[in-house]
Every structure is written in structure tokens, then in C-alpha cells.
Amino acid sequence: MRSLVYGLAVAGAATARALLRHGYEVVVGDDVVGPERVALAEDLGVELIEAPDEERLRELLSRCDLLCPSPGVPETHRVIDAARATGTEIVSEIELAYRWEQEREGGPRPMVAVTGTDGKTTTTLMTVAMLRAAGLSTVDAGNTDTPLVDAIELDRDAFVVECTSFRLAWTRDFRCAAAAWLNLAPDHLNWHATMDTYSSAKERIWSAQHAADAAIAFTGAPIVLERLKCAPGRHVTFGTDGDYHVADGQLVGPHGPIAPIASMRRSLPHDITNALAASALVLESGLADTSAIERALGEFTGPPHRLELLGTHDGVEWYNDSKATTPHAAAVAIRAFDDIVLIAGGKDKYVDLAEMAVDRDHVKAVVAIGETREAVAQVFAGVPTVETTEFLPEAVERAASLAVPGDTVLLSPGCASLDQYRSFEARGDHFRELAPTRGGH
């Protein structure tokens, strides 16, 4: 068996290594080949091809059984066109891992999965915490620091898979006992050809399920609910009027109370929604009970860079929400507070930014930054104070001067970080250093 792995970042490198472990002959390619890529190929002992044109790709793929594109390779890329032209099967790393796990001696271990435009990481980590509270050894895998092809090599009882549309687009057999689709908003239109292909990729989290599996959807997402109608598994909902909902100050499921909201260490509106989704995942899969859920929620604080409280300075709370790289995610954060001095903007992903300003009455001032600063300023027109500046340090200074005791300074960009930073983590780390709270000036 022979495979072309295209793209050699974290997931691509992990996939190449995994294929070699499983006895495949591997060729690797990338659009940009620097010293690190050359060294990696040499370490793996594989041929590396730099920026092949479509004719060369067709020739390569005609001799391959699989194309394994890294998540960074868009569906409009010439390598995808070449694979379709040659009839070469396209598979993502989660699809490969799933197939190999089915062949595991002793049988496959349980998997649950999460997708959505926003909230994936928080819900994934919350689910991991619930399973650990139930006594299971588990790991968050997929769109995390641990690709699923590496996770299945670990001694674990179960896996919680964070699924991006990039990985789901190239799946066929990938199936989980419970799979939650959290929401859908315009995003990644520089990767997907259309919103329909984006939505269809997300829907693949359910497409291979069996009748006994749980397809879990958010009641506040009409498109997700519409797609749920075609899911072959059991249809389960969460949110207002969902099977999993809030009543009398408690998280409630189909079989009764799960945990009091007061027991949650953090209970902002999106925390409650994510907790309902995670509860559905662990209960519908039978992997945990309500006592484990309550223990986990009593300790869970959320991942870094997602509404991360940095501290209070001169009566002003400072929050790092650098992970909010879409207007939808920023809107969720803005809805959680009043009297906000908002820092927003970044790399343009060619989506409508208007959604982030739906609750502009929560915002008293905006400091818009980065490539999209003028567009951000435009959608927040009508807010009492709107300023623009290119870089984050100046934005932090302006925000500090605009905020008064009782206000919240919130970095919730609503845009990607790649105009100025290598990742949203780097942007958030910089903001943490700049903020006049713990560890700041």
C-alpha cells in the first residue's frame, strides 16, 4: 500500500509516521519546503516533493492507494483535484485512526466526538473531565496537541475527538457512539468552496452512525437541526426545549436532574450550553453518570484563551478570549458581560463580521486592531467610543485608559490571528503579558 501525505505540519507529520508504522510506503509533499520539512523527510526516510503541479500530482497519485491531506490543505487545492481525477481515495488522519482502531487486538475502544464552528475545544475538554471523574483514562484527540493517529497508540479507555470540518470532510467510516454538533456559522470560507460544503463536512460526524448511536444537536442552530433529520442515529438535542436543558437552576436530561448550576465552578451562558452538550455525550454513550458530571463541573475552568480571566486591576476585570476567531464566538463572549471595553480584529477570513455586533448594547467602547480594524469599527458604529489602532500593545493602552471600575476589558477578536501572530495562542499570550493584571505591567 502506498500513500501521499500532503502538508507536513503537526497532523501531516503524525500521519506520515503512523502510515509508516502500519507498513505503508509513504511519499510526502508540501507547497513550501524549508529546512524543517527537509529534515523531517530525511528523518522519516521518505521522498519529499516540493510544490508539484497538478500533472505531477496526477502521476504520483496514479501510483498511490491513498491521499492523506493535512488539515491545512483546502478542498480547493490542486492535490484534491488531482486525487479526484485519478480516483485516489482521500482520507484524513481521524479516518485512518478510526479504521486502525477497529482492527485493534482486543477490540476498539469507545469514541465520542464534538464538532461545531465554536465551542469545540471547551466542550471536548469538559467531556474529558467528566470521563476522568468517572474513572476512565482518556485523552482529547484530533484537532488538539494529540492527533488521533497518535492517541490510539496510547493506553486509554476512551477517546474524545475534536473534529474540525477539515478532518471530517475526508471521512467515510469514522463513527462515534455519541457525536455532538454544537453550532454553525460562516467560517473557513478560505478552505471550503461554499457554506454548503462546510456544513456537509460537519454533518459527516453523524453520517456513519448506527441506529443505537446518539446524534446530538443544539436547538439554537436551525441548520444543524435540519441536518439532524437525516442522521441515522438516535436524535438527541440540547439547549432551550432540548432533551438536555436547564430547569429550576439545574442541568436536566431525559431521565431527570444532572447537576445544579450552582455547583459549576464557572457558569457563563456558553459554559452552561457546553455542559449540556458534554453531559449528553457521556450519558448517551453510557461512559459516565451524573455524579461524575457534577464532580467534573465543580472543578472545570475552561481552556486557556477562551474567556480566560486574567485578573482585576483598578476595579476592571481583564479577559483573554483570543480563541474567539469567528464573529459567532466573539458574539457569545460579548453576550456574557455588560460594560465591555472590547478589543477586536485581526486577519480577514472573508466572513461577515456583523454577527459580532448583534449585542452591541453590552459594549461601551471598541478598540479595533489588525487587518480588519476598519471593518470592525464599521460594524460597531453607534457604540459610544470606537477607536482603531494597528497593533495589540497600543490597543491595550487605549483599553486601559477607557475602562473604569466595574468595566470588563475583553480581547475577543472575532478574527484569525495570522495577520500578526503565528496562532491565536501567541496572540493570547501577548495579551496576557500586556494586561495590567497578574504577570502584567
Confidence of residue 438 (pLDDT cuts 50, 70, 90): low
Give me the amino acid identity at 230: C
Question: Angle at the Cα of 362 (from 359 to 363), degrees rounded to 5?
Answer: 105
Question: Angle at the Cα of 399 (from 396 to 401), degrees rounded to 5?
Answer: 110
- Cβ atoms of 2 and 63 closer than 8 Å: yes
Q: Which residues pair with 344 in a beta bridge?
A: 368
Reported as half-sphere exposure (CB side, CA atoms, 13 A), residue 230 has a value of: 11
Q: In terms of C-beta distances under 8 Å and separation of at least 24 residues, what long-range contacts does 28-34 make, across chains too?
A: 28/4, 29/4, 29/5, 29/57, 29/60, 29/79, 30/6, 31/7
pLDDT tens for 63-116 read 999 999 999 899 999 999 999 999 999 999 999 999 999 999 999 999 999 999
- Cβ atoms of 206 and 231 closer than 8 Å: yes
Q: Could you tell me the three cell numbers for 323?
A: 480563541
Examine the pLDDT at 421 and tell me if it is beyond 80. yes
Neighbour count for residue 396 (Cβ, 10 Å):
25
Neighbour count for residue 195 (Cβ, 10 Å):
16
Who wins on pLDDT, 189 or 12?
A: 12
Q: Could you tell me the three cell numbers for 283?
A: 450519558
pLDDT tens for 287-333 read 999 999 999 999 998 888 989 999 999 999 999 999 999 898 999 89
Which residue ranges form the domains of the chain, and what is each CATH number? 2-90 (3.40.50.720), 105-297 (3.40.1190.10), 308-434 (3.90.190.20)
Whole-number pLDDT of residue 441: 38
Q: How far apart are CA 270 and CA 289, in angstroms?
A: 22
Using the CB atoms, write b or e for 132-160: b if 16+ within 10 Å.
Answer: bbbebebbbbbbbebbbbbbbeeebebbb
What percent of the chain has a predicted confidence (pLDDT) above 90? 91
pLDDT tens for 24-77 read 999 999 999 999 999 999 999 999 999 999 999 999 999 999 999 999 899 999
- Cβ atoms of 109 and 176 closer than 8 Å: no
Q: In terms of C-beta distances under 8 Å and separation of at least 24 residues, what long-range contacts does 138-143 make, across chains too?
A: 141/97, 142/93, 142/94, 142/113, 142/167, 143/71, 143/167
Give which of 89, 109, 83, 84 is closest to 97, Cα–Cα: 109
Count Cβ atoms within 10 A of the Cβ of residue 203 and give its class: 0-12 exposed, 13-18 middle, 19 or more buried: buried
Give me the amino acid identity at 59: E
- Cβ atoms of 190 and 349 closer than 8 Å: yes
Q: How far is CA 23 from CA 16, 18, 20, 172, in A?
A: 11, 9, 5, 21
Whole-number pLDDT of residue 439: 47
Dihedral over alpha carbons 311, 314, 317, 322 (to 10 degrees): -70
Whole-number pLDDT of residue 191: 74
Give which of 165, 164, 145 is closest to 154, Cα–Cα: 145
Examine the pLDDT at 286 and tell me if it is beyond 70. yes
Reported as half-sphere exposure (CB side, CA atoms, 13 A), residue 198 has a value of: 16
pLDDT tens for 344-371 read 999 988 888 999 999 999 999 999 999 9
Over range 256-277, report the average pLDDT.
Answer: 95
SS3 167: helix
Give me the amino acid identity at 193: A
Q: How far apart are CA 269 and CA 254, in angstroms?
A: 21
Q: How far apart are CA 291 and CA 283, in angstroms?
A: 11
Hey, which bits of 340-401 come out as E strands? Answer: 340-344, 363-368, 385-388
Examine the pLDDT at 243 and tell me if it is beyond 80. yes
Q: Which helix (H) or strand (E) holds 81?
A: helix 78-86
pTM listed for this prediction: 0.87
Average pLDDT, the chain: 95
Examine the pLDDT at 440 and tell me if it is beyond 70. no
